[in-house]
């Protein structure tokens, strides 16, 4: 069963002050009326509509100014979201609007209804990205997020680096040995040349006895 009521407060998803809406009778009786969020639609209560409209205009003007200032501030912020990931770097689950609202409160003391945080697509990857904040009818802003992993990197990831260093050392050693080989070849060539030079020097010495023998025969 439905009943008509006049809202006296702004209720997201239902309406604002002075709006006449139809709601479930039990919802109005058990929640709206006791919380003074609405009044029954009667001729006497209709006289209050103008006053409620004035209250609504003042509230919306205040919200517009507040959200405009907030929009200027959040564009300069980076909200960090910590998530758990597997060894392959993939996230467990997704980043939700509720998580972002909690971190805005925790990191910057900004209280924001999670329904004002619009996620165009599920956030399942690490890194920086932007989400839209629909702060007011006429005020939107972009908030930067940085999604980081709380899972420590496995120790085995350091092995390739060690192997790379060992390979560099081996390569350097190999290059050193190659460079040292050149002087050995030069020494070998020098060794081969020296005996020839020695033979050339000894040749004239062998001729002296022969000359002496010829001189003795001539006498």
> Around Cβ 56, how many Cβ atoms within 10 Å?
19
The residue out of 149, 174, 198 marking a domain boundary is 149
Helix (H, G, I), strand (E, B) or coil at 213: helix
Domain identity same for 46 and 107? no
Q: Can you tell me the distance from the alpha carbon of 14 to that of 3, in angstroms, rounded to the nearest whole number? A: 14
Q: Tell me the per-residue pLDDT of 80-110, one tens digit each, with 9 for 90 and over.
A: 999 999 888 788 889 999 999 999 999 999 9
Range of the structural domain that residue 63 is part of: 2-72
Domain identity same for 46 and 111? no
Helix (H, G, I), strand (E, B) or coil at 204: helix
Query: 35 and 54 in contact (C-beta within 8 Å)?
Result: no
Domain identity same for 96 and 137? yes
Q: Tell me the per-residue pLDDT of 1-36, one tens digit each, with 9 for 90 and over.
A: 899 999 999 998 899 999 999 999 999 999 999 999
Give a yes or no: residue 158 inside a domain. no
In order of 70, 83, 114, 124, 141, the CA distances from 110 in angstroms are 9, 21, 12, 24, 14
Average pLDDT, the chain: 79
């Amino acid at each position: 069963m439905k009943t008509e009521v006049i809202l006296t407060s702004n209720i997201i998803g239902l309406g604002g002050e002075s709006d006449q809406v139809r709601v479930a009778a039990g919802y109005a009786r058990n929640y709206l009326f006791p919380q003074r969020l609405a009044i029954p639609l009667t001729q006497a209560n209709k006289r209050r509509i103008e006053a409620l409209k004035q209250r609504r205009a003042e509230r919306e003007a205040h919200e517009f100014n507040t959200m405009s200032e907030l929009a200027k501030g959040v564009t300069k912020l980076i909200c960090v979201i910590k998530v758990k990931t597997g060894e392959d770097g993939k996230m467990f689950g997704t980043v939700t609007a509720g998580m972002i609202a909690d971190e805005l409160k925790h990191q910057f003391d900004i209280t924001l209804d999670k329904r004002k945080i619009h996620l165009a697509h599920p956030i399942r990857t690490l890194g920086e990205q932007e989400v839209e904040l629909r702060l007011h009818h006429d005020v939107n802003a972009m908030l930067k997020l940085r999604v980081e992993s709380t899972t420590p990197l496995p120790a085995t990831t350091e092995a390739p680096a060690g192997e790379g260093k060992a390979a560099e050392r081996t390569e350097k050693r190999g290059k050193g040995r190659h460079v040292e080989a050149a002087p050995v070849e030069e020494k070998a060539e020098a060794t081969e040349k020296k005996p020839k030079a020695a033979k050339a020097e000894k040749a004239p010495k062998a001729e002296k006895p022969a000359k002496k023998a010829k001189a003795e025969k001539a006498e």
